[in-house]
Amino acid sequence: MTRGPARLADGGHLYFEDEGTGPPVVLVSGLGGLAGFFGPLAERLRARGLRTLRYDHRGVGGSSPLGGAETSIDAMAADLAGLLAARGIEAAAILGHSTGGAVAQRLALDRPDLVRRLVLSATFARPCAYMRLLFASRLEILENLGLAAYRRHAALVLHSPTFVAANAGTILRDSTAAPRPGEAETVAARIRAILAHDTLAALPALSGPTLVLVAEDDMVTPVHLSREIAAAVPEAELCLLPFGGHYALRAAPEVYADAILPFLLAGVPR
């Protein structure tokens, strides 16, 4: 494994983990923005001969604090392009989950030369009325009740009720974990960036193979948002997972991996 800070043109840096050999797959996480989110999935991809690159977003984990940097989906996509340049990757399969899927859309629109294949996982082209209400509520909880209450509420919508019931103790314990410096402010800024995202009208310009997938019981980015993307992208294939919630890649890792691996491996020399 190669890990460490990748220096960006503006002087910032992104913590990354680059593992394996073979065609690269870049994993772009969601609102939480942490490389570790993809740990189990990355192992499965490497076991099938793929190289994985994952990273902490700016303002999160081991990457540069936000400071005065812009917090927007466009800025996150520019950071991702900078990371690819720093790692010497000319083109890759990009898998973006949730907010990471919005970042992946923006990268594919702005820098199509960098995107070999695109996986848009549990994501959105623009927030619908339901999603706006949900994220406005999440922001209100964060700003008025604090980070612990925000984390507990998030668990109720990110996971299935069965998962929450089986893991209630862990959820309560994790909700009171010490916050990272500036965490609440970073989360609030990233929620506002989510609410401002809108690529729907531009999506017909996307070229190249695209897989859009979501679990049918996702309560954060419901199925209709993925259907909207798949209808707008010319070469999109829609895959509906039967269960798993918004975190299907964690709740049902085998099912999720089986859904994406044929797409990622298509065209790879045997």
Mean pLDDT over 203-226 rounds to 97
In this prediction, residue 267 carries a pLDDT of 64
Find where tokens 């623009």 sit. 126
Residue 255 lies in a domain: yes
7 exposure class (CB count in 10 Å sphere: 0-12, 13-18, 19+): middle
**Is position 107 within any domain?**
yes
Q: What is the mean pLDDT of residues 186-198?
A: 98
Structure tokens at 34: 């942490």
Q: What is the DSSP string of 139-203?
A: HHHHHHH-HHHHHHHHHHHHS-HHHHHHTHHHHHHHHTSPPPTTHHHHHHHHHHHHHH---GGGG
Residue 269 has pLDDT above 70, yes or no: no
pLDDT digits (tens, 9 = 90+) for 43-83: 999 999 999 999 999 999 999 998 877 899 999 999 999 99
Query: Once rounded to an integer, what is the mean pLDDT over residues 164-168?
Result: 88
Does 135 reside within a domain?
A: no
Rounded to 5°, the CA angle 185-70-218 comes to 60
In a domain, 69, yes or no: yes
Q: What are phi and psi of 31, to 5 degrees?
A: -55, -40
CB-neighbour burial class of residue 109 (10 A; exposed 0-12, middle 13-18, buried 19+):
middle
Looking at residues 174-199, what average pLDDT do you find?
93
State which residues form the domain around 230: 2-125+199-265
CATH code for position 253: 3.40.50.1820
Number of domains in the chain: 1
